[in-house]
Amino acid sequence: MKKYIDGFVLVVPKNKLDAYRKLALEAGKLWIEHGALEYRECVGDDLKTHMGLPFPQLAKLKRNELVVFSWIVYRSRSHRDKTNEKLMKDPRFAAMVNLDSMPFDMKRMSHGGFEVLVDLQTK
């Protein structure tokens, strides 16, 4: 089955990681409830690469910040659009999204929708 992914790269201050984790856990549960197949949030760990542009440089990280790489999996772009439409109407989601007090830098967040090109998995 071909899938569709929403991908995100964002910057979280180290002292707000617990608040971010709490927000992500609550949001992830809502995304799954409304139809997403998978929800992942990952904190950068091994980012000293010698090939390409390292995430810390891409995100213009400061010493007290972390890179978070996350993605949400859907059946298709249409499924993503329907899931997100339901999510945006959910008052629980609206209550948790306060743009003035997000535990990450909204101006340095990047996101987009992606068609899956290759999908290999172990059984």
Q: What percent of the chain is modeled with pLDDT above 90?
A: 72
> Could you give the CA distance from residue 23 to residue 46 in angstroms, rounded to a whole number?
24
Mean pLDDT across the stretch 42-50? 91
Categorize the per-residue pLDDT at 67 as very low, low, confident or very high, splitting at 50, 70 and 90. Answer: very high
Residue 51 has pLDDT above 90, yes or no: no
Q: What is the pLDDT of residue 48?
A: 86
φ/ψ bin of 52: left (φ > 0), alpha (ψ from -120 to 50), beta (otherwise): left
Residue 3 has pLDDT above 80, yes or no: yes
Q: What is the pLDDT of residue 121?
A: 86
Fold of 4-64+72-115: Alpha-Beta Plaits (3.30.70)
Does this model's pTM top 0.95?
no
